Amino acid sequence: MHDIKVGEKYEVYIDNMAHEGQGVGRIEGVAVFVEGALTGERVVAQIDKISKNYVIGHVVEILEKSRDRVKPLCPHAYKCGGCSLQHLSYEGQLKYKTQKVKDNLERIGKVYTKVQDTIGMEKPQRYRNKAQFPVGMVEGKAVTGFYAPRSHDIVPVESCMIQHEISDEIARIVRNWIRKYNISVYDEKTGKGLIRHIVTRVAFKTGEVMAVIVINGRDIPYKKQLIDALKEEIRGLKSIVININTKKTNVIMGEENITIYGSNNIIDYIIDTKFEISPLSFFQVNPVQTEVLYGKALEYADLKGEETVIDVYCGIGTISLLAAKKAGFVYGIEAVHQAVEDAKRNAYINDIKNVEFISGDAEKVMPELADKGVKADVVIMDPPRKGCDTPVLEAIIKMNPKKIVYVSCNPSTLARDLRYLEDYGYKTIEVQPVDMFPYTYHVESVALVLPSTF
């Protein structure tokens, strides 16, 4: 095999970057993933872990530096697990993401198509409308922050450059309230303590703000003092909610919410459509780029007003409702029952009637619709990270749509699913990556897929 040892240092030339943004090179012919290294760099890497076919290490010295290397904007860059690409220029991040989509399509899916340049943001900071801060004790003091990479150790963060400023403010106010009134914070190891997480949501278009305190219990002490402090300092505050999570779990929120101030939800817009967001609703976290992403999906769908559209994995109905304004009729399918309720409510508040939301697993609902003789002109899908289940793809092929628009948050499952569609008579025309999560390794894309006979 090889005689690479943990703790030893090796000189490595980095010729590529991996899925999570690590540099990739070879030591004695063995692949090495180097945390913190960039393509084109020559580095000294210290080995942290040895697996059968590869080794993992981190940079200790940079001998030749990439032109795209920059000094991180955030002081917590190397400690916090939130952003893994702070050391790569924004231009470099966009190039990396385009390349990643291309590589995945070609290597995993053998799909050769036009991949456009990733659409970036003019201002790639402070773009998130939702923050989830774990609360814990560090050196005897209650802190809020984010988890260190691959661990549940909290890195105290006072200001996060990818969250909206208001989220930082809310965390600060709650943190001060915890310290002032000596309120217990949750300890994952013992399962004791009250305050678990602070979750914030800021509607970018309407300015409405929601603060959620996740607790291991049913109520909080000094409630009035907390409400008063938030009301006094937070502009646009519309809702304060206690979320009850008494389970020993790393799922952040429980099922039950108690509104202690204001309304149960806040309102935001995507393009020209209004959405109600409750503490548990899924809502895209980068509102600026969501409009770019969905705008691209609608441009590919190119609806003329008569079409029947099926939106698979429709969530709270975001794409369905935008499409309904331009289509004949839209069916939205979603497994999470609460999301379907939200979707129906969103259709109602926008007075959109040519849409039907169906609660159930796509792999069951799709074949049922096909058997009922529902013919989809356009199928739009935005599946979770694991991509589409084969029965869903089978049902789509059976329906024989004139157009498929695939929105993906994971290029490797996109590649696999496009391969399947291409094997059954479709062709990927082009793919447009969109940078929804600057400074992280994630990339969203939209693919236009047409029957290969067109």
Active centre residues (catalytic): 409
Is 214 in contact with 188 (CB distance < 8 Å)?
A: no
Residue type, 29: G
d(CA 333, CA 364): 10
Residue type, 426: Y
Q: Which of 87, 94, 90 is nearest to 71 (CA)?
A: 87
d(CA 347, CA 377): 21
As given in the structure block, the two tokens for residue 60 are 């200790």
d(CA 92, CA 435): 12
d(CA 32, CA 53): 9
423-426 long-range contacts, Cβ below 8 Å, gap at least 24?
Answer: 424/393, 424/397, 425/397, 425/451, 425/452, 425/453, 426/397, 426/450, 426/451, 426/452
Q: How do 154-156 and 114-115 pair as beta strands?
A: unpaired
**Residues whose CB is less than 8 angstroms from the CB of residue 348 and which lie 6 or more positions away in sequence, other chains included:** none
As given in the structure block, the two tokens for residue 125 are 């900071």
Where b means 16+ CB within 10 Å and e means fewer, 147-161 reads bbeeeeebbbbeebb
